[in-house]
Amino acid sequence: MSKNITLTMIKPLAVQQGFIGPILAKINENGFRIAAMKLLWLTENQAKQFYVVHKERPFYNDLVKSMSSGPIVAAVLENENAVDEYRKLIGATNPANADAGTIRKLYGTSLEANAVHGSDSDENANIEAEFFFSKLESF
Ligand code: GDP
């Protein structure tokens, strides 16, 4: 099976709570290769652009505010079936409904502050990877 990519972000509250290390350890233990990674602080406009698909949703403004409230880690992860395998590893969107041992269950605190983002399709993974990284920054 060929390898493909997914894009993750460690969200601001998880970064503030000191969970970068434990979350990266889970990513490594589960066989993902880190192909690109950076720590950065999104402006409100950049967060709006990233989540533009959700712009009609009632939670859009809250999501944008929360995602631009502090530094995040963005990373491109490579694996076989990366999108689906990573969504299994992170668990359900709401940490309250996520399976035991998943990243959102372990490190998420609410639906909004659910520790990490994971792409929902191969097409979006590529769009999201290009949002954060140039070809020179991906290996
Ligand atoms: P994901 O693909 O599992 O991240 O979920 P979605 O793409 O549906 O939503 C994007 C992000 O918006 C989620 O990770 C949540 O942090 C946030 N979100 C989703 N639904 C709600 C909601 O009803 N209220 C709030 N405040 N945030 C939400």
Q: Mind listing the pLDDT tens digit for each residue in 61-111?
A: 999 999 999 999 999 999 999 999 999 999 999 999 999 999 999 999 999
Q: Residue 43 C-alpha to ligand 1 middle, in angstroms?
A: 19
Cα of 136 from ligand 1 centre, angstroms: 31
Centroid of ligand 1 to alpha carbon of 97 (angstroms) = 13
Question: Is 10 close to ligand 1, i.e. is its CB under 6 Å away?
Answer: no
Is the C-beta atom of 92 inside 6 A of ligand 1? no
Domains of the chain in start order, with CATH, are 4-133 (3.30.70.141)
pTM over 0.85: yes
Active site residues: 117
Confidence of residue 1 (pLDDT cuts 50, 70, 90): low
| DSSP string covering the chain | --EEEEEEEE-HHHHHTT-HHHHHHHHHHTT-EEEEEEEE---HHHHHHHTGGGTTSTTHHHHHHHHTSS-EEEEEEEEETHHHHHHHHH--SSGGGSPTTSHHHHH--SSSS-SEEE-SSHHHHHHHHHHH--GGG--
